[in-house]
Structure 1
Amino acid sequence: MKKTLRIALATTLALLSSTSMSFAATPAPADPRDPADPWIWLEDANGPRVMDWVKSHNATTEQRLESDPHYQPFYNDALAILGAKDRIPSPSFLNGQIYNFWQDEEHLRGIWRKTSLDEYRGGKPAWKTVLDIDALGKAEGKSWVYKGADCLEPEQRRCLISLSNGGEDAVEVREFDLASGTFVEGGFHIPRAKQGVTWEDADHLLVATEWTPGEVTTSGYPYVVKRVTRGRPFTEAVEVFRGEKSDVGMFPAVLHDGEGHTLKLITRAIDFFHQRSFVIAADGKMHELAIPQKVSVAGLVAGRVVFRLDEAWGDLPSGSVAAAPLTEVMQRPEGFSAKLAWNPGPREALEAVSATKGRLLVSILDNVNGRLLSLAPAAGGAWTTATLPLPDKLALRFGSAQTDGDRVFAWAEGFTTPSSLYLVDAAAATAQPVQSLPPRFDSKGLVVEQREAKSTDGTAIPYFLVHRKDMPLDGSTPVLLDAYGGFQVNSTPSYSGTIGKLWLERGGAFALANIRGGGEFGPAWHEAALKTKRQVAYDDFASVARDMIDRKITSPRRLGIVGGSNGGLLMGVEMTEFPELYSAVVIQVPLLDMIRISKIAAGTSWQGEYGDVYADPEARAFWLKKSPYHALRKGVKYPEPYIFTTTRDDRTGPQHARKFAARMEEMGLPYYFYENTEGGHGSGADIRQSAKTTALWLTYLTRKLMD
């Protein structure tokens, strides 16, 4: 099983394959049902008038923050951390070697390189460069950003390389030969588009893309899958499956296990959480699997199809993992039965599913602490489960796994515990340390606590708090509170060298809230905050803030908040609904106009999370009150926010951030705004850009909460 197949369009918004999307250059017309909006012109993606506005507002923020004495040291420290030579090179098993994608100051866009497993484990590998992205971009006059490789099983010699111009989600796909280290002359070459591409076999690809102009869903994703044949013109591709324009999109995948079995799968995403799964069955025809729409195919292991259940499936409970024999699925796709493989306990939640050649790998949360499991097939469709011997009370995750063996890399980290890499034998249930990241900040005297706040409806909301052991309980500690709270995405501890060095080491504290809308306690935790029930997530976050204030850990004067994407929406609501609680708000790559959201970037695809304001009167009434862009009021004393976005963000789009800043300016409200012109849905296209954006917002926080 090469990859997890659960659609997760949230923080990574990664789809089944190397999927991407784009957005219209010109704004959609105003809808007469909507409130008057003088700033729709800022929805133009990158027109001259818009970019003049962006440059002017960037210059103001740069002048204000880069002149601060904190900025340059922060930038230098961030760049040193992001480009440090002693980082752990993230390893991938591929073609009998260990591959790694590496960026530093000499390789800003990065190099794809390889070494042997023995050399890698020895700590001083002799890396051989396979592909230099900086050199490729220079030769072709493009701002290429590497977006990953999909290699043909089982040989793993030919790979499909995805390249993005400037970091946007839209990619160009080219065939690459690992043996020669070159792009294949006359090989597969899929033009830049929003697309999902996967190998069917050595001479065929299954491709979902914008085959003709405008042939995409209302969410901006492809809905037609075709078979592309080697050596034949792209225009001669043969249609395999067609969805509907009202779908989120269609996404092909071909699953493999270590025994040579394959499963050709096409997922038709109805909305963000509901999907219909189709396979090419034993009769050679496309058949829909008889599974609920919130049950997804998660992989193929030892001749068994593995399913992730985000709703109950007959007697199989929501939140569990199940499996069925591949032979039954292929012969009777409309009537097979599955058996339970893993079932969560009361405080447990499924994080991810992957596999080695002969083991099913399941990563779970137990009260938001990580555990990794190895499941072996047993007689009668059963499984035997072993908990892998890795550190407790940390965030744990699987890395790259062998497809021709049972070894897999695993990662462990915590707020004050640097990342460590282990080599796990999933069959023997053993783990050996490989490498640990050197500390990036002084954690002496810091403690990590897991606390609970009571939300407005009485629900206990867990949150982590990292602070100095001798922290005074007088409200004087600057605290940065983070959360996400959407799309069933889990917020777990992570080791951030920049937050540690530039915030914790300087006396600040950091909190991470596990509010409803996330997946920390399974599907029900997410569903509690869906659509018009979303107020509970906003109340949960404010309740955590009040808990820290009531305990005199901090005070509104010293409390700042940060969030990105859906978390950026959370920040906008917190700022407009509870302005008295915070003195600083960092809003990153956000959603803020929840009325026109479906007209901006991929907004339509998230109606399963937020509702459809043009079809559902209750959703419209809710968001007319809660949409941060519409909730701003002249004369209200809001905390002065730092609003960050990127021009190349073709996921949430930069339009939300621009319009929010413009409306604040219209009302005479103070704010900071910065739009990076590259970087996609993130902080930057290279480490220098990321260091700058990090230094800017942490300088802002320092001025607001520490100075």
Structure 2
Amino acid sequence: MIRHLISAVAVLAFMAPAMSVAQQVAEDPYLWLENVEGDDALEWVREQNTRSLAELEADPRFDEMYQEALAVLTSDARLPLGDLHGPYVYNFWVDETHVRGVWRRIKVDAYKSGETNWETVLDFDKLAEAEGENWIHGDIVCLNPAYRHCMVEMSYGGKDAAVWREFDTQTKTFPENGFFLPEAKSSLSWVDKDTLLVGTDMGAGSLTDSGYARTIRVVERGKDLSDAEIWFEGEKTDVWVQSIAEQVNGETYLFAVRGKTFFESERFVATSIDGEKKKIGMPLNADFYGVYKGRQPSPLAIYLLREDYEGDERKFFSGSLVGVDLKSGEVSEIMRASKNQSIENVGIGENEIFVQYLDDVSGKAARLQPRRSVGGWQKIQIKLPENGVINLVSVGEDEAILSFESMNHPSTLYYASGRNDLDKITQMPAFYDAQNVVVEQRFATSADGAKVPYYIMGLKDVLEQGDAPTIQYGYGGFLVPILPVYYEDPSRPQHGALAGSMWVKRGGVLVLSNIRGGSEYGPDWHQAALKENRQRAFDDFIAVAEDLIESGVTNPEKLGAIGRSNGGLLMGAMLTQRPDLFAAMDIGVPLLDMKRYNKLLAGASWMGEYGNPDIEEEWSYISQYSPYQKIIADQPYPKVLFYTSTKDDRVHPGHARKAAAKLDALGYDFYYYENIEGGHGGTANQDQLAHRTALEYVYFAKMLMGTQ
């Protein structure tokens, strides 16, 4: 106990608490587990890993599931999704040979014809070996339109904090005296080949309360970062400040973004480093997608509204795409989404704007063209397959790469050019036999009467028979829609390719819950579950579970639930509010201690979503659901699986650690797995992801299907 008290003191030493350290430790005896790299905390982690892995990996189904997951995640048959830049398509690729990944490119015409003669630009496996570093790739930011001068982000083990290094795509080298940013949570943009705008950790006073940059500085080639002058400065209470540089038709537009909350931002624009920064008079809750010039007399800043906006002469509605004239400030409507639609992504071409949107949670895409004679914009539907998920992969001058997929239909890649031209590039082969797999959309009624859609996937005879082992997935936050994809994001094991091969073929059923908090029906669907209304997201998930039981799909002894990050918070609420509904819960990289979440890593940046627990009025509603505080004795909790990552510098691993330790002290059994590397994704490479995915599915098999 003394050793743990010392660790807790170390955790709290940087704070100025309202109560003494001893009082805080008495209130929360597991604070010592917040000491991420502390010896005693890591000893506890290793003990839990050893105990849990010994049991889960010993299940005879584990090895087979691991091989199935690895085959999907490292298959060469995956679609080579790429970014259009000039004559090339650039792609990042991971397989059994390239565990860390290779950045590569191919000519557009060759890509369209399905050729595979990719040219390697940067091999991260060779780089890591040559430099003796555990490099995990991150973002890549290049100067348009030439796309020669690039900044490459690399982290040690997958953290959000990373180093940035300049890379030349022509010589395929890191220039000897190129730009370099040391490890930090940084953002940047190119002004020209010799100038960057950079937001990074510059020492005391340079970060916001959320741990992100508070200043944007002008970094010139050959000059030291410490000498860079401040170009824009925000407040300490802001979430972040960032820069965006748009090169359009030979002109450069520099944007300073002041993130006042996670969703609300002020934006300022200038046409040069020394030019006046003019505030753009748009609502704070709006998403900026870039600058469109086309044949307009002046450029338009393209925004997606997340709230209604009263212009000078008309009202613009939440969920609409609008353009702001950067010279006059005049606002015009480009596309208005109906109540059952949600614009999800926007790509700006030279003369057209491409949009990806949902219509009753079904994917659609269109190209928008300005009407020269009568004004306004013409919407031309892109004729892709129906009843699935459409992804706007990349937009070039007036061309786009798009994909279509559904949970039982492998991803297909298309190239759209010209007014009605649509070429099929390639289709991913099936990772499982979907011949008898049924995917249906159903609706449940939530506690307040709202109709909540959900997708259900299973073998036809399994669904007809009913009473099936079922996994229900949910997220419900941050405008993230949960869509019936086949492969789009394989880090989430609820998607079709992995679920089909690892769960459905074994007689299991998968359910995707489109609960409030996401963007399935636009901004209103998200805002309905913000802050004091968070319980609506939980009620929606409960409504879907009850509908599954009432309709005979499953029963509480065979129903499991899965969620990660914000979805991990959802799982914590289900554990403490309705444990009677679930026989298993997979709780990944979760938020659980909502009393302290804003003091841990990036937590303060999410107060726009959850509220501020340090304000008594806001803690009064957060406390009604905060899972960590709600864990008590003598409850019918299922044996849960927690997983997290020591290197997660976004959601603190202390959330999962402390909840597990509290359950342990109260006499509940649980599984726990903490990867020592991997960042917020929980893994650092595809092999680790396959291992964790197998752990998750074998857990559900043990809990819902019984021993083998």
Q: 1:152 to 1:281 in 2, by over 3 A?
A: closer
Query: What residue number does 1:604 align with?
Result: 604
Asked whether the 8 Å contact 1:26–1:45 carries over to 2, the reply is no
Q: CA shift at 1:110, angstroms?
A: 0.9
Equivalent-residue separation in structure 1 for 2:108 and 2:507 (angstroms): 41
Secondary structure class of the residue paired with 2:125:
helix
Match 2:390 to one of 379, 390, 396: 396
1:214 to partner: Cα distance:
5.2
Counterpart check, 1:697 vs 2:696: yes
Residues 401 and 415, structure 2, Cα contact 8 Å, conserved in 1: yes
Corresponding residue number in structure 1 for 2:497 = 497
Q: Is 1:25–1:45's contact at 8 Å kept on the other side of the alignment?
A: no
Q: What is the correspondence of 1:541-620 to structure 2 with a 5 Å cutoff?
A: 541-615=541-615, 617-620=616-619
After TM superposition, list the pairs within 5 Å mapping 1:35-114 onto structure 2. 36-114=27-105
User: SS in structure 2 opposite 1:253?
Assistant: strand
How many angstroms does 1:440 deviate by? 0.4
Q: Which amino acid aligns with 1:245?
A: K
Partners of 1:571 and 1:527 lie apart in 2 by: 20
Further displaced range: 509-518 or 115-124: 115-124
Query: How many angstroms does 1:121 deviate by?
Result: 3.1
Alignment partner of 1:262 is 2:256? no
Pairing of 1:679-694 with structure 2 (within 5 A): 679-694=678-693
Match of 2:300 among 284, 291, 304: 304
Is 1:272 equivalent to 2:272 in the alignment? Answer: no
Unaligned 5+ segments in structure 1 are: 1-23, 329-335
Question: Are residues 1:243 and 2:238 paired?
Answer: no
Deviation string, structure 1 residues 519-554 (Cα, Å, up to 9, x no partner):
111111111111011111101100000001001110
1:653 to 2:643 alignment: no
Structure 1 contact 600–652 (Cα < 8 Å) conserved: yes
Letter in 1 for 2:153: S
Question: What RMSD in Å do the two structures reach over aligned CA positions?
Answer: 1.7
For the Cα contact (< 8 Å) 1:389–1:430, is it kept in 2? no
Structure 2 counterpart of 1:169, from 134, 153, 160: 160
Deviation at 1:372, TM superposition (A): 0.7
Q: Does 1:341 align with 2:341?
A: no
Work out whether 1:378 is the aligned partner of 2:367. Answer: no
Q: Which moved more, 1:275-284 or 1:570-579?
A: 275-284
List aligned pairs for 1:218-229, cutoff 5 A. Answer: 218-229=209-220
Match of 2:6 in 1: none
CA contact under 8 A between 2:11 and 2:31: conserved in structure 1? no
AA of the residue aligned to 1:244 = E
After superposing the two structures, state which structure 1 stretch, 44-53 or 112-121, moved more.
Answer: 112-121
**Contact 1:422 1:433 (C-alpha < 8 Å) held by counterparts:** yes
Q: Indicate yes or no: 2:413 matched with 1:413.
A: no
Question: Which of 196, 209, 224 lines up with 1:205 in the alignment?
Answer: 196
Aligned residues of 1:360 and 1:375 also touching (Cα < 8 A): yes
Q: In the alignment, which residue of structure 2 is the partner of 1:18?
A: none
Deviations 1:62-106 (A, max 9, x none): 101011101111111111111112212222223522222111111
1-structure distance, mates of 2:18, 2:593: 14
CA distances 1:386-415 after superposition (whole Å, capped 9, x unpaired): 11111111110111221xx31110011111
- CA shift at 1:120, angstroms? 2.5
Tell me whether 1:353 sits opposite 2:346 in the alignment.
yes
The residue type equivalent to 1:556 in the other structure is P
| Structure 1 position 324, deviation (Å) | 2.6
Aligned match of 1:134: 125
Partner letter of residue 274 of structure 1? Answer: E
Deviation at 1:221, TM superposition (A): 0.6
2:100, 2:81 → 1: CA distance? 16
The secondary structure found in structure 2 opposite 1:681 is helix
Tell me if structure 1 keeps the 8 A contact 2:252–2:271.
no
| CA positional deviation for 1:26 | 4.0
Deviation at 1:31, TM superposition (A): 5.1
For 1:46, the aligned partner's letter is E
Maintained 8 Å contact 1:109/1:134: yes
CA offsets 1:285-321 (integer angstroms, 9 cap, x no match): 1222111211242211123211110011110111101
Greater shift, 285-294 or 217-226, is seen at 285-294
Counterpart contact for 1:197–1:206, Cα < 8 Å = yes
After superposition, give the CA deviation of every residue in 1:651-697 in whole Å (9 maximum; x if it has no partner).
Answer: 11211111111111111111111011111111411111011101111
> Using the alignment, how far apart are the partners of 2:670 and 2:645 within structure 1?
17
**CA distance in structure 1 between the aligned counterparts of 2:465 and 2:538, rounded to whole angstroms:** 26
Partner SS state of residue 645, structure 1: strand
Distance 1:166 1:511 in 2: 32
Is the contact made by 1:71 and 1:695 (CA closer than 8 Å) also made in structure 2? yes
Give how far 1:618 is off. Answer: 2.9
Q: CA deviation at 1:38?
A: 0.6
Q: Out of 378, 381, 388, which is 1:387 matched to?
A: 381
Instruction: Give, in angstroms, the shift of residue 589 of structure 1.
Output: 0.8
Q: Give the one of 396, 408, 426 matched to 1:435.
A: 426
1:162/1:171 contact within 8 Å kept:
yes
TM-score (structure 1 length as normaliser): 0.93
Q: Aligned runs of 1:526-541 on 2, under 5 Å?
A: 526-541=526-541
Contact 2:354 2:395 in 1 (8 A): no
- More displaced 10-residue stretch of structure 1: 61-70 or 125-134: 125-134
What is the DSSP-based 3-state SS (H/G/I as helix, E as strand, rest coil) of the residue aligned with 1:239? strand
2:463 aligned with 1:467: no
Higher RCO (C-alpha 8 Å, min separation 6): 1
Q: Which runs of 5+ in 2 are unaligned?
A: 1-8, 294-298, 487-495
Give the secondary structure class of the aligned counterpart of 2:342: strand
Checking the alignment, whether the CA contact within 8 Å between 2:191 and 2:252 is kept in structure 1 is: no
Is the Cα contact below 8 Å between 2:611 and 2:622 reproduced in 1? no
AA aligned opposite 2:635: V
Equivalent position of 2:143 in the other structure:
152
Residue 430 of structure 1 and its aligned partner are, at CA, apart by 2.5
Q: Residues 386, 476 of structure 1: CA spacing in aligned structure 2 closer, same or farther, 3 A cutoff? A: same
- 2:593–2:627 Cα contact (<8 Å) kept: yes
- Measured in 2, the distance between the counterparts of 1:510 and 1:249 equals 38
Structure 2 counterpart of 1:460, one-letter code: K
- With over 3 angstroms needed to count, the CA separation of the structure-2 counterparts of 1:177 and 1:525, relative to structure 1, is same
State whether residues 532 and 618 of structure 1, in contact with CA within 8 Å, keep that contact through their aligned partners in structure 2: no
* Equivalent position amino acid for 1:467 in 2: G
**What corresponds to 2:491 in structure 1?**
none
Does structure 2 conserve the Cα–Cα contact (< 8 Å) formed by 1:339 and 1:381? no
Alpha-carbon distance between aligned partners in 2 of 1:218 and 1:65, rounded to the nearest angstrom: 40
Q: Percent identity?
A: 38
Q: 1:577 to 1:474 in 2, by over 3 A?
A: farther
User: 2: distance between equivalents of 1:207 and 1:658?
Assistant: 35
Deviation at 1:619, TM superposition (A): 2.0
Structure-1 separation of matches of 2:611 and 2:76: 46
In the alignment, residue 320 of structure 2 is paired with which amino acid? Answer: S
User: Per-residue CA shift, 1:456-485, capped at 9, x if unaligned?
Assistant: 111111111112222356652111111111
DSSP-derived class of the 1:499 partner = helix
Distance 2:465 2:549 in 1: 9
What SS does structure 2 have at the residue aligned with 1:256? strand
In 2, distance between residues paired with 1:618 and 1:577?
A: 22
Counterpart amino acid of 1:382? G
| Cα deviation code 1:253-287 (max 9, x no counterpart) | 11233x23332101101111111111125891122
2:412 partner amino acid: S
| Partner residue in 2 for 1:195 | 186
Instruction: Give yes or no for the alignment of 1:290 onto 2:286.
Output: no
- Spell out, residue by residue over 1:17-41, the C-alpha distance to the aligned partner (whole angstroms, 9 max, x if none): xxxxxxx994565653978101111
Give the partner amino acid of 1:395.
Answer: V
Q: Report the Cα distance in structure 1 between the residues aligned to 2:549 and 2:18, rounded to whole angstroms.
A: 43
